C-alpha cells in the first residue's frame, strides 16, 4: 500500500461521521377544541359555575381557555432524536440533572411537577444533550403515573441509544395529593428506573445515586 493510500485511509478514519436522526412522535390524536370547549362549559355548569353569568364576565372565555390549556398539556411534541458516533471512546457517566417535569395525573387530571435526573453510560453513540429533556417532555405530555413515566423514559433512551447503562430519577409534587385529599402540602414522590450496568453494578449504581442526591447540597 502506498503512503498516499495510507494517508487517505487515516483521513477517512478521522473524518466526522454524520449524526443519526430518528423522528420521535406519538400516534396522531385529533384534537377537537370546539367539542372540548363545549364540554368544559357543561363541566363548569355541572359544578354550579355559570360561565355566561352577566355578573362574572371574566368567565365567558374560561371554557375555551380550559380546553386550550389541556390540549397543550396533553399533546406530545415530535422531535428528532440525534445521536453521534462516540469517536472519543468516552465511557464515563453522562448526567443531566434538574430537567423540568410537567405532567398530568391520570387519576384526577391534576398536574404533577418536579425534576428528572437522567444519566447514561455510552457505548458506541452519544446523544445530543438537548434530546434528553425533549424525551422527558415527550412522555410527560399525556395522562400519566410517575412510575410509568420514569420507566418509559428509561426504556425509550435504552432502545434508541443502546448504552451500557441508563438511570432515571424523578422527584415530583402531585397536586392531587397536595391540594385535595390528604393535602400533604410538602410531600414529594421519588421514583427511579435503572437499566444495564447502572442496575447490575453496585459501584456504578452508587455513583449515579450519589450524583443525583448531590444537587441538594
Catalytic residue annotation: 105-108, 146, 174, 176
- Looking up cell 441509544 gives 161
Could you tell me if 116 and 170 are in contact, meaning their C-beta atoms sit under 8 angstroms apart? yes
- Within 8 A by CB and 6+ apart from 149, the residues are 101, 103, 139, 140, 170, 191
At 135, is the secondary structure helix, strand, or coil?
helix
Residue among 37, 106, 39 nearest 67 (CA): 37
User: What b/e readout covers 66-105, taking b as 16+ CB neighbours within 10 angstroms?
Assistant: bbbebeebbebeebebbbeeeeeeeeebebbeebebebbb
E runs forming strands in 106-208: 111-121, 125-127, 143-144, 165-174, 189-196
Gap between the Cα atoms of 82 and 84, Å rounded: 7
Gap between the Cα atoms of 81 and 120, Å rounded: 15
Amino acid at each position: 500500500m502506498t503512503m498516499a493510500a495510507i494517508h487517505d485511509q487515516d483521513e477517512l478514519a478521522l473524518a466526522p461521521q454524520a449524526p443519526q436522526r430518528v423522528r420521535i412522535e406519538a400516534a396522531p390524536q385529533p384534537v377537537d377544541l370546539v367539542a372540548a370547549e363545549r364540554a368544559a362549559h357543561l363541566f363548569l355548569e355541572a359544578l354550579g359555575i355559570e360561565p355566561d353569568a352577566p355578573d362574572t364576565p371574566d368567565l365567558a372565555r374560561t371554557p375555551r381557555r380550559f380546553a386550550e390549556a389541556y390540549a397543550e398539556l396533553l399533546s406530545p411534541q415530535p422531535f428528532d432524536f440525534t445521536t453521534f458516533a462516540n469517536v472519543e471512546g468516552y465511557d464515563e457517566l453522562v448526567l443531566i440533572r434538574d430537567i423540568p417535569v410537567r405532567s398530568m395525573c391520570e387519576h384526577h387530571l391534576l398536574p404533577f411537577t418536579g425534576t428528572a435526573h437522567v444519566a447514561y453510560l455510552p457505548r458506541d453513540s452519544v446523544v445530543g444533550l438537548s434530546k434528553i429533556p425533549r424525551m422527558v417532555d415527550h412522555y410527560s405530555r399525556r395522562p400519566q403515573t410517575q412510575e410509568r413515566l420514569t420507566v418509559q423514559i428509561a426504556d425509550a433512551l435504552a432502545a434508541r441509544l443502546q448504552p451500557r447503562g441508563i438511570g432515571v430519577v424523578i422527584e415530583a409534587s402531585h397536586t392531587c395529593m397536595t391540594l385535595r385529599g390528604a393535602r400533604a402540602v410538602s410531600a414529594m414522590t421519588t421514583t427511579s428506573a435503572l437499566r444495564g450496568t447502572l442496575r447490575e453494578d453496585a459501584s456504578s449504581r452508587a455513583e449515579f445515586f450519589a450524583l443525583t442526591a448531590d444537587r441538594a447540597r
